Amino acid sequence: MSSFELIQFINCKILRNHKLIQEHLWVRNGKIINPERVFFDEKIKADIVVDCNGCIVAPGFIDIQINGGFGIDFSNCESIESGLNHVAKNLLNSGVTSFCPTIVTSPNDVYKNVLPRIKKNKGGSHGATILGIHLEGPFININKKGAHPSECIKNLDAGFQSLIETYSTLENVSIITLAPELKQMDEVIRKLISLEITVSVGHSMGNLKDGEDAIISGASLITHLFNAMLPFHHRDPGLVGLLASNNIPLERTVYFGIISDGIHTHPAALRIAYRTHPDGLVLVTDGVSAMGLEEGKHNIGQLSVEIKNGMALVAGTTTLCGSIATMETCVNIFLKATGCSIEYALEAASLHPAEALGISHIKGTLNFGGDADFVFLDSDLNVLATWIAGECVYKKENVLIKQGGGII
């Protein structure tokens, strides 16, 4: 189908304005359009009519923290370009239409070799859209390193210049995770925000005030809440306390990634986060190279990883180092654990990450003027098909999608 053709999606429940509504969806030139202009101004009919067979049509999922998958590790990949393409293509199967490839703490040579070769890229049949890089480290607290190699962890001794010396480039970077208790953090955060880079706090021993200071300086995100940070304490709740802090400017929303893979975060913890601060909750996979692969040994960054009993562990230890659950799985686990609405679970994987990146005017919704990135789901929220810019880029086997007189 041509990008300029007018496409009408019928017989569906679409997610718009936090509600599932029985309404047609209209797409042209890769964008969602207002049908009133078609009816009253252009006075034309659709070139193509797609029968959705009663399924849910929701915004495409957006994963802002994924280290790799399907045998590829973004921090340890001989050919990063082909590796990115491989992951981007396979993510379509689980409804992900956009993602931030995440680079964990690594030697300087890795940053200098890999970062210039990861470009923001529009999605399509070749794979999901690349929204920009998420740099998770090395400016973190060694005492909360998780799977990050301790020999590569750094301080901000030279302030913002430390970032330049380490990364060599910040082009195509969308998110940087920092431990807020590091020295010169205020200056670094303000500089990053001026470059339109989202700052996330995490892998931290920071207390609540450290987190509040970082948010006031411009940070707006918490990296995988509950994981790799001080546990909640009633006298000082640490970074977790940001969800209920009254020292955050009223116009600011603190967003937080959370891994609902059934392993990293207990169902009760998911419920606590959801009930405390639902507006900021962002589902992330924190997926590693073994996502989509069988159990065994693999690599993440500079460490050996073992996949055992559905968990990704630092080889020879019981330390979790990432998830192997897809976003489709995370949405379903979160829905069952929290008892939230279907609408909310879907928006936690689409609207909220888009808001956290400041791109909700084009991604994460089915509003008029937005990108026509969406998924077809059944009533159990299984992904049936994935669409990017109004093009069907993945269809589950045996799923029939009627288009005009034929079948896609």
224 assigned binding-site residue: yes
192 assigned binding-site residue: no
Mean pLDDT score across all residues of the chain: 94
147 assigned binding-site residue: yes
- Active-site residue (options: 261, 286, 371, 373): 286
**Dihedral sign of CA atoms 395, 398, 399, 400 in order:** positive
Q: What is the pLDDT of residue 302?
A: 63
**Residue 380 catalytic?**
no
**3-class DSSP state of 355:** helix
Domains of the chain with bracketed CATH: 7-58+365-407 (2.30.40.10), 61-357 (3.20.20.140)
Q: What is the pLDDT of residue 1?
A: 55
- pLDDT confidence tier of residue 407, bands split at 50, 70 and 90: low
337 assigned binding-site residue: no
Amino acid at 63: D
Which stretch of DSSP H or E encloses residue 399?
none
| Average pLDDT of the segment spanning 294-313 | 77
- pLDDT (tens digit, 9 = 90+) per residue, 56-109? 999 999 999 999 999 899 998 889 999 999 999 999 999 999 999 999 999 999
Q: What is the pLDDT of residue 315?
A: 83
**3-class DSSP state of 80:** helix
- Tokens 């740099």, residue? 135
Residue 2 pLDDT > 60: no
Lowest mean pLDDT among 50-64, 320-334, 340-354: 320-334
DSSP string across 82-113: HHHHHHHHHHGGGTEEEEEEEEES--HHHHHH
6 assigned binding-site residue: no
C-alpha to C-alpha distance for 21 and 96, rounded to whole angstroms:
22
C-alpha to C-alpha distance for 408 and 405, rounded to whole angstroms:
10
163 assigned binding-site residue: no
